Chains A and B, each alone.
Chain A
């Protein structure tokens, strides 16, 4: 995920450096090269211990804190918070924003990946750089720019008002912000896979007279299936958890423009700790599901397109 921002200089899938041989790709055995002395064992234990400590403090404890705080006043209080009407409407808005982002970004991802990997044209590098901008922009700035475009001071505002459309501090704004921050999430998973695959198969299909649509569905899509699903998972994770950008555009109206993370904020700022953590626990569960799905899809996306 991290390196994708750098797509302009991203390294191609590595070509085989070794010449063919029965025993390529060995990993070194440090225990053979050096005596496995007390010193190296201590270093090893220390590093493993440090890693466990880090993960425990930074990852496990925060999750445990959510559960502890959520259940502080017992199961009934927890249940009440989770099934609260405002919570339900926040869940609905979160789902709506997530699905919108998925739909729009899928359309964009497929078209962009097709254009970028199957053709040569001027300005391709610039285009790939521009596509990656949303992930490098602070979420607050992402929210800000939509306020600037559609807000009270925009030249568009009078027209929108006449048409009865409200974007800022309303649901469309929340959706726009979510789409923006997750914009490149699907295309950046598809592009490397399609790039590695090349254009030979599509060319062969086109020469045999296949239409663009059947080339895509029959030839291209099977290759990118897992990468696509992987992108969907990443996009979902970010979309349902987006806070900063949505926070700027939402106006925090309970039951109307609050997504789950925003509702968590409202509760927390209002010193309603137990409900805040209870609502958080819903997001924690979703995060865990996403982590698991991510691992599965990532594995499949890496081990090749053909399988299953």
Chain B
């Protein structure tokens, strides 16, 4: 229903006009060009490009490292959010503030300092070098950088939900005699589960496309530590725009699917909470 009352406020034409124009020029038209350039490839050529061994290897590296990093983030994110909301201890505010660092620190800076930190001369790399584990220039290093990049997504998704969680749920379970472990598993976790999935999804999306913090630590060896964004970069430098577009399109489809999945979880969740029958 369109309410007449809404039209009392002036400026619909102007504001909508400016919004759509700017959105088209800056976002929609450039993105559409991706499809245009990909369309220059025949379907067969398109398949060839994206199933090239080196490209597939890059997809694999990107996906596996991003997935593992996001899993670590999901676990660590819940722990950090829990500790920040539920426990009172000296240094809590500092941890709370530091969580945001990956949003504020330029990715290139994060990239080179994580590389220096985990190379065999760095503080962490040196320790692991003793037990024969190399971090920098391996997939472990990529994962390490992606954990850094993704952690705020999970913490900031879960934290507000935990804060708002009504204490009476736990009291109700407690009065009935449930143990702490049961209360967490059966009462608290279901409440934060949608937020954990959301945080995981957002972190995964970000990690798959991440470039700045990864290029330095990755070592960029084809088939081993070369990530998808780097392949696109390489194709661009060879002026192979069609291939670059094709690979980019695959990534784009993946991240949209991921977002869609995250939205789906949210929708299902609202259904349980708001009650449609």
Contacts and interface: CB of A to CB of B under 8 A. Distances in A.
Q: Do chains A and B touch in the complex (CB under 8 A)?
A: yes
A53 to B, nearest CB: 10
A212 B18 CA distance: 15
Contacts of B212: 139, 243-244, 247, 261
B6 A290 contact: no
A97 interface: no
Contacts of B16: 115, 119, 121
A133 B27 contact: yes
Given A9-B266, A34-B174, A144 B106 contact: no
B31 interface: yes
Given A2-B152, A14-B164, A144-B34, A127 B19 contact: yes
Contact of A3 (B36, B164, B198): B198
B208 A138 contact: yes
A133 B100 contact: no
Interface residues of A, number: 113
B3 A241 contact: no
B252 A137 contact: yes
A96 B30 CA distance: 22
A51 B211 CA distance: 26
Given A180-B30, A241-B106, A6 B262 contact: yes
A283 B101 CA distance: 12
A103 interface: no
Given A1-B156, A34-B179, A140-B233, A280 B100 contact: no
Nearest to A244: B211
Interface stretch (A23-31, A80-88, A157-165, A222-230): A23-31
Provide the main secondary structure of the chain A interface.
Answer: helix
Nearest to A298: B100
B6 A120 contact: yes
A187 to B, nearest CB: 9
Contact of A5 (B83, B123, B259): B259
B107 to A, nearest CB: 5
Contacts of B169: 28
Interface string A2-25: 110110110100100110000001
Interface string B11-34: 110111011101100111111011
Given A180-B27, A243-B108, A277-B112, A140 B211 contact: yes
A154 B33 CA distance: 9
Contacts of B101: 59, 63, 287, 291
Contacts of B132: none
30 contacts: A2-B157, A2-B198, A6-B263, A9-B266, A28-B170, A28-B174, A30-B170, A33-B175, A34-B179, A48-B89, A51-B83, A111-B18, A115-B12, A118-B6, A119-B6, A119-B9, A127-B23, A138-B228, A141-B232, A145-B30, A149-B29, A152-B239, A176-B26, A180-B26, A183-B26, A199-B9, A206-B9, A260-B106, A264-B108, A294-B104
Interface of A: 1-3, 5-6, 8-9, 11, 14, 17-18, 25-30, 33-34, 40, 44, 47-48, 50-52, 54-55, 57-66, 69, 104, 107-108, 111-112, 114-116, 118-121, 127, 130-131, 133-134, 136-141, 144-149, 151-154, 176, 179-180, 183, 199, 202-203, 206-207, 211-212, 215-216, 234, 237-238, 240-244, 247-248, 260-262, 264-265, 268, 273, 276-277, 280, 283-284, 287-288, 290-291, 294-295
